[in-house]
């Protein structure tokens, strides 16, 4: 495991090796929710019948023409929220299960890495792909978070076919830039969407295992803002919830943009960068000097009852997720003029 406090320097010295590994766990992190969706849509029949013969509607997954007619009619009549709700539920019902997989393997010769690095894996004859490591360097096994890309390379095979005992070919670790900075008096803010949280899972575990949440005897607040469409597409959600009970200075803020369409979701629903702004200390933020859109979110009341707020002049920020989200977060974070060494971003897709 890394021993130097400068993890970036440690990463530069890591030897990239090729080796075989054995899969020790494959666990779906999402759920098959088709039954839930059917119940919700059955309750909507009274108003759906105004747009299409309900007998023709059938299953949400077997009559695209009828469902598209409903969605189109709602949109034309200005019912954009209902139109989006129906199309979102249909898309979710048709998404293959599992779509979010925890894949854990044991390298035959072990694997030294620092939090934030990634590996390239090969399975059978599929084209290899790279994945961020989600486990701590202190763990014996290596944990990856796999999101199925329908029609993509490797991920459908990993989700559908891997079993305990299967062989992987692993090359790595790679990456020496997206690593934790040395501890300081700044609070740590992680902002991610979907599987972008994988390197942050590694970093958060390592921070608490190595007491990097302390500086000069004082606790630092560790925040995680994690966004997704659906609550069961929030990777490691159970673990992060447990962390909030275990460590009083860890604050988990999940936000789901579509979950309220399917369940009684009482959490945050805004985009993750907007949600982050709601937890800034308004007295320390000088909201009046910010663009109106950003200032408006700073003044919004947070949903979660967290007895802490973020001072933007005393934070270090890490961002990981799809490119559009990462760029949107950048537009927000750059308003606070953070030093370069206290702001790191990694994007994909």
Distance CA 268, CA 305 (A): 11
Q: Quick one: tokens of 154?
A: 């490797």
What is the per-residue pLDDT for 314?
A: 95
- Average pLDDT of the segment spanning 313-330: 91
Predicted structure pTM score: 0.93
What is the per-residue pLDDT for 181?
A: 94
What is the per-residue pLDDT for 4?
A: 40
What is the per-residue pLDDT for 319?
A: 96
* 115-148 residue pLDDT tens: 999 999 999 988 999 999 999 999 999 999 999 9
What is the per-residue pLDDT for 49?
A: 64
Lowest mean pLDDT across 41-50, 81-90, 163-172: 41-50
* 267-318 residue pLDDT tens: 999 999 999 999 999 888 887 788 898 999 999 999 999 999 999 999 999 9
What is the per-residue pLDDT for 132?
A: 97
Residue listed under structure tokens 């933007």: 312
Burial class (CB in 10 A: 0-12, 13-18, 19+), 106: middle
What is the per-residue pLDDT for 143?
A: 97
Q: Is 25 helix (H, G, I), strand (E, B) or coil?
A: strand
Domains of the chain with CATH codes: 7-30+98-174 (2.40.30.10), 34-94 (no CATH), 187-348 (3.40.50.80)
Lowest mean pLDDT across 42-46, 155-159, 163-167, 270-274: 42-46
Q: Is 133 helix (H, G, I), strand (E, B) or coil?
A: strand
Candidates 19, 346, 23; CA nearest to 202 is 346
Is residue 95 predicted with pLDDT exceeding 80? yes
Counting other chains too, the contacts that 64-70 makes at CB distance below 8 Å and 24 or more residues apart are none
Is residue 337 predicted with pLDDT exceeding 60? yes
Q: Which residue has the higher pLDDT, 85 or 42?
A: 85
What is the per-residue pLDDT for 2?
A: 45
Residue 111, CA distances (Å) to 6, 53, 177 in order: 19, 59, 19
- Average pLDDT of the segment spanning 20-44: 89
User: Quick check: 330 and 320 in contact, CB under 8 A?
Assistant: no
Handedness of CA 112, 208, 251, 319 (dihedral sign): negative
Grade residue 69 by pLDDT with cuts at 50, 70 and 90.
confident
Is residue 51 predicted with pLDDT exceeding 80? no
User: Quick check: 20 and 168 in contact, CB under 8 A?
Assistant: yes
Q: Quick one: tokens of 287?
A: 């909201």
Residue listed under structure tokens 């979701």: 265
């Amino acid at each position: 495991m890394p021993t130097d406090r400068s993890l970036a320097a440690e990463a530069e010295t890591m030897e990239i090796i090729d080796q075989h590994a054995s899969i020790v766990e494959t666990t779906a992190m999402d759920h098959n929710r088709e039954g839930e969706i059917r119940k919700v849509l059955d309750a909507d029949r009274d108003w759906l019948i105004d747009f299409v013969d309900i007998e023709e509607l059938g299953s949400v997954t077997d009559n695209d023409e009828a469902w598209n007619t409903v969605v189109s009619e709602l949109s034309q009549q200005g019912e954009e929220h209902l139109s989006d709700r129906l199309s979102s539920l249909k898309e979710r019902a048709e998404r293959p299960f599992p779509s979010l997989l925890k894949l854990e393997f044991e390298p035959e010769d072990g694997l030294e890495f620092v939090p934030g690095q990634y590996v390239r894996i090969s399975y059978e004859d599929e084209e290899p792909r790279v994945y961020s490591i989600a486990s701590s360097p202190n763990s014996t096994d290596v944990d990856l978070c796999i999101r199925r890309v329908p029609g993509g390379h490797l991920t459908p095979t990993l989700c559908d076919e891997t079993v305990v005992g299967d062989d992987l070919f692993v090359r790595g670790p790679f990456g020496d830039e997206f690593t934790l900075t040395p501890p300081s008096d700044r609070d740590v803010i992680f902002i991610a969407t979907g599987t972008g949280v994988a390197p942050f899972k590694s970093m958060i575990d390592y921070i608490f295992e190595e007491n990097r949440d302390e500086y000069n005897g004082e606790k630092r607040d560790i925040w995680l803002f994690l966004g997704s469409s659906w609550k069961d597409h929030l990777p490691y959600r159970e673990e992060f919830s447990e962390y909030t009970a275990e460590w009083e200075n860890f604050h988990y803020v999940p936000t789901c943009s579509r979950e309220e369409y399917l369940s009684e979701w009482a959490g945050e629903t805004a985009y993750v960068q907007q949600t982050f702004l709601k937890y800034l200390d308004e007295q320390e933020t000088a909201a009046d000097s910010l663009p109106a859109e950003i200032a408006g979110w700073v003044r919004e009341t947070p949903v979660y009852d967290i007895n802490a707020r973020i001072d933007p002049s005393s934070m270090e920020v890490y961002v990981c997720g799809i490119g559009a989200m990462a760029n949107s977060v950048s537009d927000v974070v750059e308003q606070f003029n953070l030093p370069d060494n206290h702001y790191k971003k990694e994007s994909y897709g």
